[in-house]
Structure 1
């Protein structure tokens, strides 16, 4: 490992600790000697990094120091690529565009050997999604982001259509479908809606009366309790 990479790894490690960390712990995490840790700390200080030293406690990074993406290791790069590849495959045009943009930005700042890894990787995410209206998916995401009510015409398993006013708060991307979790005013409770069964959707300007995080927590607690009851 080159010394420059070692210095970057040391910086990244210091960022992980909110409180002082000893040279021994740093040495063990980086698999180098404590003497090397002391030398590298001094080198970073000479380069303007504000690292505080407290006797008996250790070292602490006093100011946030932005690390470039080149500190990613090979496994992290592959994980990001796989996630972006999955995003590029889902029926949501905005996410597809975003995944391509992130990949281009990543390529622009990664060192050459990492760019080569991205080009040569054969990791792929393969999912056969049920056909949906991609514009409708984006509208649902927008409604969740803005925490506004939506009105939908929804088809159940028997293809019966009902009109619902929903408070959308979460989207789940499952094996082949996208599922919306929402509070349904018609049923006065939490319900799940497959996006591919939504026939029409209209966004309102009306905020629903709870924060989406609160709705998500209430829904999650209900689902966990239900799963526990079913097991018993």
Structure 2
């Protein structure tokens, strides 16, 4: 690992540690020698990074120190590149556009070869078998983020159309479909809805922030909370 990358990792370890870290512990995590750690910490201290401590006792980071935004290790940047490329498999075009915008912003402030589209070296297939949605998927994501109730017109697997008031909790992107996990007020229980069976979607001026955390916790305890049934 280059010195700059290794020093970045040392700072990250000290920022997140609950107790003083010895050079031995840091060296074990970074797979380097303790001598290298001592040298790097001395260099960081010389650069006025507020690291306190001494050999044999341990090191801590004084409160209030933070790194500049968007400081990523090479492996983290690889993970971001591949993760954003995989958005193409969701079939969610607005999400894909947002991913491209995010990568452009990262590339603008993190000068690293391979981040710009014409320089990419890591790729992911965008193949998927997800049907096109009827409604704008941004409505679903926004409602989940804002903990806002939705009114749906939903057609189940038997072809029956019902109106639902739901509290949207999460979206699952599978290779052959997208599932909206919700608490359904009509059924008074948790239900999973296939995105391509939602015929209309209307955000309501009603929010469920007071119950969102509890509902998500209860939903996660369900034995089939990852179910793809979508019967609604």
State the match for 1:44 in structure 2.
44
For the pair 1:130 / 2:144, whether they are aligned, the reply is no
1:33-84 CA distance string (max 9 Å, x none): 32332222121112111001167530012243315646422x4333211210
Unaligned runs of 5+ in 1: 228-232
Q: In 2, are the aligned partners of 1:152 and 1:200 still within 8 Å (CA)?
A: yes
Residues in 2 aligned to 1:45 and 1:11: alpha-carbon distance in whole angstroms? 11
Q: In 1, are the aligned partners of 2:133 and 2:195 still within 8 Å (CA)?
A: yes
Q: TM-score, normalised by structure 1?
A: 0.83
Unaligned runs of 5+ in 2: 228-232
* Deviates further, 111-120 or 157-166: 111-120
**1:81-160 superposed matches below 5 A:** 81-115=81-115, 119-133=120-134, 135=136, 137-160=137-160
The CA deviation at 1:88 is 3.9
For the pair 1:77 / 2:94, whether they are aligned, the reply is no
Residues in 2 aligned to 1:108 and 1:215: alpha-carbon distance in whole angstroms? 39
The CA deviation at 1:225 is 9.5
Q: How many residues align?
A: 225
Residues in 2 aligned to 1:209 and 1:119: alpha-carbon distance in whole angstroms? 40
Q: In 1, are the aligned partners of 2:179 and 2:192 still within 8 Å (CA)?
A: yes
1:160-208 CA distance string (max 9 Å, x none): 1111111212211122211111111221211111111011111110123
Aligned CA-pair RMSD: 2.8
Structure with greater helix percent: 1
